[in-house]
Copies of this chain bind each other. A is one copy, B any other.
């Protein structure tokens, strides 16, 4: 994958676009090294870590906004989250906002920029499949509405649950899913079924037309390339916690 014929890169040097770069570009050095990459994919993409950090900025910004703050510096955002200020500056650059030296960023503008960047500016509707313990907890937790997500319907296979109401949401039969998705133009599904049923259920969700699955099961799903899945695995966090605790107790034991 080298030297795919490029179209005349020797055209007028890009010096005219020098006013205010909203999105960071690669360094000139790397452009020289890979001149065939001067086209659209040239834009630097945010790291996964950056995307993961943005919601925490958002949360703090909303609190600041509620407190009546008009501006906030990257330095402040950084210290609250125990991050280096330069990390915050780089992360925020991806959202397209520009700050003012000595002043910082306009809170309202920054909130809007992060929301837009993450696609949380319009409320995204979602269905939830699998109304067990975790499923009903998520139904009852309306905090996701701060993150652009609104669960509007839920589905289950269990005849005992179908047509009952859970946390203000009527449980539908899983058989109803395709029709419901098609009518409602919903693209996102939350999967909270038991592990055994995970892959099968995911397939039905994909067939119904969903394009994203937020996967709370312990199963790594196999889905077509145009479908995005995100696995939420609490065991990961627990592993980190356990490991750190072991480490701390060892360190303390050594120090004694």
Which residues of A does B touch, CB under 8 Å? 40, 46, 48, 51-52, 54-56, 58-59, 80-82, 117-120, 124, 133-134, 136-138, 140-141, 143-144, 146-149, 167, 187-188, 211-212, 214, 218, 220, 226, 228, 230-246, 248-249, 252, 254
Instruction: Say how far A254's CB is from chain B's closest CB, in angstroms.
Output: 8
- In angstroms, Cα B237 to Cα A46, docked, is 15
B228 touches A244 (CB 8 A): yes
A141 touches B147 (CB 8 A): no
Q: A228-B248, A243-B51 are in contact. Are A144 and B238 (CB under 8 A)?
A: yes
- In angstroms, Cα B142 to Cα A133, docked, is 10
Could you show 23 A-B contacts with beta carbons less than 8 Å apart? Answer: A40-B254, A46-B243, A51-B239, A51-B243, A54-B239, A55-B233, A55-B235, A56-B220, A82-B220, A118-B239, A120-B242, A124-B242, A133-B136, A133-B137, A133-B140, A136-B137, A143-B218, A144-B234, A144-B238, A188-B241, A214-B241, A230-B237, A232-B237
